[in-house]
Amino acid sequence: MLDEAGRRLATAPAGTRIDLRLGELDSLPISTDEVDGAVAGMVLHHLPDPSSALREMYRIVRPGGAAVVVELCPHREDWLREALGDRHLGLDPGDVVAAFRREGFEQVQLSELEDRYQPTPPGGGPPANLSLFTVRGHVPVASP
């Protein structure tokens, strides 16, 4: 993924500030309050404990900044475990909202997406047709 990102970013406009870092989602190589926002797209369902990534996102986003997660709704495509390393067959949107709140995010909002995720099984056959949602939340600004 980082190699591909590097290739694509080679043609980014001059002055674009991008820093590619390799790390684990439950231990990000990013300092506390370092970034304005964080996006985790299609990745929490790979983690044994999705909350661990939200905890890290809360840590790295500055007060007033935002975090966004894009995730799969619960599904029954069990082949994704072996084919793509999925640990969860989607996530319950309500559980993700609750996890955002538990980690301290405020103004937590859930949205359904019109886009679908349509991976094809390795042996062939019709693609899956999976629903997606996003959850966003803000890190509270510290009181004066």
Ligand X SMILES: C[S@@+](CC[C@H](N)C(=O)[O-])C[C@H]1O[C@@H](n2cnc3c(N)ncnc32)[C@H](O)[C@@H]1O
Compute the distance between CA of residue 79 and CA of residue 24 in angstroms, rounded to an integer: 24
**Strands 130-138 and 106-117: what pairing?**
antiparallel
Residue from 37, 46, 55, 119 that binds ligand X (CB under 6 A)? 46
Residue from 9, 20, 24, 115 that binds ligand X (CB under 6 A)? 24
Residue from 9, 12, 33, 41 that binds ligand X (CB under 6 A)? 41
Place of tokens 């103004």: 107
CA quadruple 22, 27, 32, 34: dihedral, nearest 10: 20
With binding defined as CB under 6 A, does residue 2 bind ligand X? no
Candidates 5-13, 38-46, 103-111, 134-142: pick the segment binding ligand X (CB under 6 A). Answer: 38-46
Residue from 30, 35, 47, 73 that binds ligand X (CB under 6 A)? 47
With binding defined as CB under 6 A, does residue 25 bind ligand X? yes
With binding defined as CB under 6 A, does residue 66 bind ligand X? no
DSSP 88: S
Helices (H), 73-135: 79-84, 93-103
